[in-house]
Amino acid sequence: MPVNKPNQNEQIPPKPQSKTLIYVLLLVVLLSLGVSGFLFYQNYELKQQLSQIQKSFITTPSPKPTQLPTASASPSPTETTYDKEKTECISKGGEWKLAGLALDERCFIKMKDANKDCSNSDDCEGTCLAPEKCRLGDKVVGKCSEYDLTLGCHSRVEGGKAMPVLCID
């Protein structure tokens, strides 16, 4: 029996099973690219939003509080409590700067007896602070605080003993 040889110009049609497999693989690849692209885009969007929020915290100063009306002295309408506090702070030699979790502007006045040994807050202009590596009730020699306002978590010294840690913002 003679064997029919295909003509060279004639193409052999692919088997139906292999065509289906190619379509399935192509679909899987496209879906995985689409999902990863979508996730990448979402991650990019979240990073952009977070960056904008962080910038607003850093670059946006807190609003100036306005003075509430009082019965006694009536300051000029343009002068606010904020302005008075800032002027008073600077006139006392203080530093007016952003501080705390809320990044409020506050006055920090440097104490003349900063870092002096102390056993009680009465020994200091500011606060008698315990060393960092001490426990509640330990007998310690403290150091006078550098500023009148001490933010963060610190243990004070009273009667020569370390007191509980207080966190102040």
Quote the tokens at residue 124. Answer: 């200091």
Choice among 18-22, 60-64, 141-145 with the minimum mean pLDDT: 60-64
pTM: 0.49
User: Is the pLDDT reported for residue 12 higher than 90?
Assistant: no
pLDDT of residue 33: 62
Q: Which two tokens stand for residue 15?
A: 């088997």
| Cα distance between residue 62 and residue 57, in whole Å | 9
Q: Do residues 156 and 142 make contact, with C-beta atoms less than 8 angstroms apart? A: yes
DSSP helix/strand/coil, 3: coil
Contact 107, 85 (CB under 8 A): yes
Region 82-101: what's the mean pLDDT?
87
Q: What is the pLDDT of residue 131?
A: 93
Annotate 42-58 with DSSP letters as a single string.
HHHHHHHHHHHHHHHHH
Q: Where are the domains of the chain?
A: 19-60, 117-168
Segment 101-145, tens digit of pLDDT: 888 888 899 999 999 999 998 999 999 999 988 999 999 999 999
